[in-house]
Structure 1
Amino acid sequence: MRQKVVRLTLVGGVVLLALLLLLAVFGGGPDSQGQKGAVPVKRVMPSAGTVTRLTVPPQYTTDRGWEIIGSSPEVAVSHATGRLAYLERLDGNRYRLRTVDTATGGLGWQGQAWRPPDPVHYPRLATVTAGGRQYFVTWSYGKVGDGMTPASTFVSLDVYDVTDGARQRVEVPWSGAPSVSTSGPEIVISDGKANSTLVDPVTGMVSELSADELRYPKGCPACKQLTEVYGQTEAGLLVGGAREFWVRGGWFSRNVAPKGVDRGSGVVTSVGGDRVLARWALAKKAKRAATHELWTVHDATTGKALVSVECHRPAIKPGRYPQAVLSPSGDHLIAGNLAFDLEAGRGHCFEAADGSAHLTLATVTDDGIAYGAENARDAAEALSGVGLPVAVDLANWTVGQLSRNARLPGLEATGVGVFRWTDRQERTRLLGYPRTD
């Protein structure tokens, strides 16, 4: 059943854009309007001089750039436009989405302020692509109530057109902690199991999908065990069971398994853009079947196996697999201690001879440089300064040590690395440093 969700709000248009430009030029904004607690924004154009200088990898220069003071912990980026989105916190526990041009530091459009459901916290932020357009999505989960009746819980989403900030509000009743995927083209809200709700970012239409509508592949009893909705691809909803995975109404992992594996052993570990990272058990007769597994990047639309690499089996399976991260062009992919050059068709597992892995990768750029840290448990730790920072050249898989206090770029867009740090006043700062070349 599809239904149009109420509270559909459109903002944007020529008049609003003109007002935003005037506000940006003359310094207008939350602070100039007398709103207490508004986030200060410091903008420095590349030609205007220096910004706060952090210790960063030598691929970037700190002689010029831009800086935002008081950003949200999460940001989202549109590589198609070079626009980055972040949230600023206002008084009264309200939030506003703002944008910046990563190439110049120029401030772009900003959304209207809103208050998320209780408990109040920074909403999550992501990018989704649908219908040939990109959208920034903010979402939060909580409850509302008037004190007279039991409070209802729901997922609140605000969807913004990347180009002009036109906004839609969608509220989906939900019980229990949600899992939200924006792999596209629809936003998928899941209970972490087999039930899900799909939100079309273009129209705001909502579709509910129950477990009995997942079109389980024939002859796959493991598909109905520990069933989980992972997200969506251009071909349909991506679903997996205890073993094996499939696209609803599309391809089945058993039919696209890479060579040399047990065809019934595939498990989805992560989805990044139009790529799926899966773990496979080697065929029983394989020489290293008892000690190694095969990790494969699949095309999300067709299921085709693109690149594979073997890694030691972990002594203890992780409770959560590392998230796959694509370079802006999609030519490189990293996840934990795995790295893939998709254009060259090569992969590498960074591990010692005994199978121990001490390297975690967090960011990868179009020039084939990945950044991460040794002795960091995950990408979040590496980006926050835990461990020994490194730069990895994916052309030859060499690991180069960086300064011990070097900050790593959280992302790169338009040749500008975006770095995050927290100052002494506990404010999150974003800094954009261009590449040295």
Structure 2
Amino acid sequence: MRQKIVRLTLVGGVVFLALLLLLATCGGDPDRGDGKGAAKGTAEPAMPSAGPVTRLTVPPQYATGRGWEIIGTSPDVAVSHATGLLAYLERSEGNRYRLRTVEAATGELGWRGKPWQQPDPLHYPKLATVTKGDRQYFLTWSYGKVGDGLSPSSTFIALDLYDVTNGNRQRVEVPWSGAPDVHTDGPDIVISDAKANSTLVDPVTGEVSELAADKLKYPKGCTACKQLTEVHGQTVEGLLVGGAREFWVRGGWFSRNVAPKGTDRGSGVVTSTAPGQVLAKWSPAKKTKRAATHELWAVHDAATGEVLASVECHRPAIQPGRYPQAVLSPSGAYLVAGNLAFDLEAKQGRCFEDEDGAAHLSLATVTDDGIAYGAENARDASEALSGGGIPVTMDFATWSTERLSRDVRLPDTETTGVGVFRWTDRQDRDRLIGYPRTG
């Protein structure tokens, strides 16, 4: 039986804490995965004599001589910056899954849920965080079939919502046909068909409501809004929707009215979203010199549409198959997406490209200290985090990049001053390591 091991490098009271953790993980409650019904990968703290955690080669901002380590985690993790908890999934016997949490700052085990089954038994569920008002939840979801699977109604999405403060769980099942797009930037969970139809799930009450394309309230006079219409998520003001050009918030603001200065007001396209932010690209005003060669990228406040920061980049020779995903720092002060970086407090942006317009940098992670991590010659953030390309750091204080050695691993995320790194060992087990930030 494979086990997840949390190794803690402790100072002061290490034995006492280790014993407490052992009691927490080695009791006899079958609902907690102990005893004969133990879940594969149940976490245990290493005894103090086990020494430091595995030392990876990481950026110099992190101390590898101390931290914590978990063996056998799910591909996805989620972080609650408000509580400092990191959530991951472990696979139990009989293709069941359990959500577990760890205090990112210390490596101490937090609450854990009971094992449950999902409609797709062979793959880990997706894992995310969703916030509504002052309530935050860890969300797991999976899409699959029930019954004979011969009709569209036999497929559904199973969503499990856990209150981040205490682990209280509720399940919501939504009948669904076709591969779903699930948006969790809040306040509701939005399930869409990658087109104009969507279903909303209230994470607090579990209430489910459907919204068809004919209820989207298309802006008056926007013919392009009804072409290639797609639901991109939700803002606090309503559903965020875009067409072939131009985008709007249902019952709220319209992109034409918040277009950045110097752009074609009818050219806005949503490329990515993050909690409270919308990243869009715009064409310069028609008949200007840069209209044929450049695009303007802008970060909009999701509640009002206000432009928070913007920057120009050369138009790509070939349009990408998908746009880079926007990633926010924990405090929301910085945002990165591919070769774009924005200081939202200073209202400044930077496009990292060569003089001829070629973009070779993919930024993937950004911290509250104003340091971003990514890689040159990586196709996207996912490839950069998995070791592709040449690792780099970017400092918002100087807008300068610095190459790192090729064997450096980049942090997937950072919270409470701890960088979280992922790697796969020789037994093909996913591992998470938390290294504290130096200084």
Per the normalisation by structure 1, the TM-score is 0.92
Inter-partner Cα distance in structure 1 for 2:346 and 2:261: 19
- 1:229 equivalent among 222, 228, 231: 231
Q: Which residue of 2 aligns with 1:182?
A: 184
Alpha-carbon shift at residue 352 of structure 1 (Å): 0.1
Paired AA for residue 401 in structure 1: R
Query: Contact 2:327 / 2:337 at 8 angstroms: preserved in 1?
Result: yes
Alpha-carbon shift at residue 149 of structure 1 (Å): 8.7
Paired AA for residue 24 in structure 2: V
Q: Which residue of 2 aligns with 1:337?
A: 339
Which is bigger in relative contact order (C-alpha 8 A, separation at least 6)? Answer: 1
Paired AA for residue 65 in structure 1: G
Inter-partner Cα distance in structure 1 for 2:416 and 2:65: 17
Partner SS for 2:214? helix
Query: Contact 1:223 / 1:242 at 8 angstroms: preserved in 2?
Result: yes
Query: Contact 1:294 / 1:308 at 8 angstroms: preserved in 2?
Result: yes
Distance 1:417 1:280, change over 3 A: same
Q: Which residue of 1 aligns with 2:278?
A: 276
Paired AA for residue 102 in structure 1: A
Paired AA for residue 27 in structure 1: C
Question: Which stretch has the larger CA shift, 194-203 or 114-123?
Answer: 114-123
Q: Which residue of 2 aligns with 1:38?
A: 40
Report percent identity of matched pairs: 74
Alpha-carbon shift at residue 118 of structure 1 (Å): 3.3
Query: Contact 1:243 / 1:265 at 8 angstroms: preserved in 2?
Result: yes
Deviations 1:113-155 (A, max 9, x none): 1111135311000000013110000000000115899970000
Inter-partner Cα distance in structure 1 for 2:153 and 2:255: 42
Query: Contact 2:297 / 2:312 at 8 angstroms: preserved in 1?
Result: yes
- What is the CA RMSD across the aligned residues, in angstroms? 2.0
Inter-partner Cα distance in structure 2 for 1:148 and 1:286: 56
Inter-partner Cα distance in structure 2 for 1:428 and 1:368: 28
Paired AA for residue 379 in structure 1: A
Q: Which residue of 1 aligns with 2:26?
A: 27
Summarize the alignment of residues 8-407 of structure 1 with structure 2, pairs less than 5 Å apart: 25=24, 27-28=26-27, 32-35=34-37, 38-43=40-45, 49-118=51-120, 120-145=122-147, 152-407=154-409
Paired AA for residue 215 in structure 2: E
Inter-partner Cα distance in structure 2 for 1:24 and 1:333: 42
Distance 1:255 1:428, change over 3 A: same
Superposition misfits of 4+ residues, deviation over 4 angstroms: 21-24, 29-32, 44-49, 146-151
Distance 1:43 1:297, change over 3 A: farther
Paired AA for residue 106 in structure 2: T
Paired AA for residue 328 in structure 1: P
Inter-partner Cα distance in structure 2 for 1:221 and 1:24: 64
Deviations 1:39-92 (A, max 9, x none): 143546999951011000000000100011111010000000000100001111
Q: Which residue of 2 aligns with 1:421?
A: 423
Query: Contact 1:360 / 1:377 at 8 angstroms: preserved in 2?
Result: yes
Partner SS for 1:159? strand
Q: Which residue of 2 aligns with 1:16?
A: none
Query: Contact 1:43 / 1:105 at 8 angstroms: preserved in 2?
Result: no
Query: Contact 1:223 / 1:245 at 8 angstroms: preserved in 2?
Result: yes
Alpha-carbon shift at residue 319 of structure 1 (Å): 1.2
Inter-partner Cα distance in structure 1 for 2:345 and 2:392: 23
Q: How many residues align?
A: 417
Distance 1:26 1:256, change over 3 A: closer
Paired AA for residue 113 in structure 1: P
Partner SS for 2:75? coil
Inter-partner Cα distance in structure 1 for 2:86 and 2:360: 32
Distance 1:62 1:414, change over 3 A: same
Inter-partner Cα distance in structure 2 for 1:382 and 1:277: 21
Inter-partner Cα distance in structure 1 for 2:214 and 2:48: 55
Inter-partner Cα distance in structure 2 for 1:45 and 1:344: 47
1:412 aligns with 2:411: no
Partner SS for 1:222? helix
Query: Contact 1:71 / 1:430 at 8 angstroms: preserved in 2?
Result: yes
Inter-partner Cα distance in structure 2 for 1:31 and 1:428: 20
Inter-partner Cα distance in structure 2 for 1:134 and 1:48: 35
Alpha-carbon shift at residue 236 of structure 1 (Å): 0.6
Paired AA for residue 339 in structure 2: N
Distance 1:82 1:171, change over 3 A: same
Inter-partner Cα distance in structure 2 for 1:221 and 1:339: 32
Inter-partner Cα distance in structure 2 for 1:32 and 1:280: 55
Deviations 1:330-353 (A, max 9, x none): 000000000001111110000000
Partner SS for 1:34? helix
Query: Contact 1:229 / 1:239 at 8 angstroms: preserved in 2?
Result: yes
Paired AA for residue 315 in structure 1: A
Alpha-carbon shift at residue 34 of structure 1 (Å): 2.6
Deviations 1:351-389 (A, max 9, x none): 000010111000000011000001110111100101110
Inter-partner Cα distance in structure 2 for 1:172 and 1:45: 44
Paired AA for residue 275 in structure 1: Q
Inter-partner Cα distance in structure 1 for 2:314 and 2:345: 25
Partner SS for 2:94? helix
Alpha-carbon shift at residue 190 of structure 1 (Å): 0.2
Query: Contact 2:156 / 2:177 at 8 angstroms: preserved in 1?
Result: yes
Inter-partner Cα distance in structure 2 for 1:271 and 1:46: 43
Paired AA for residue 335 in structure 1: A
Distance 1:261 1:44, change over 3 A: farther
Could you tell me which runs of 5 or more consecutive residues in structure 1 were left unpaired when the two chains were aligned.
1-20
Query: Contact 2:152 / 2:177 at 8 angstroms: preserved in 1?
Result: no
Distance 1:31 1:286, change over 3 A: same
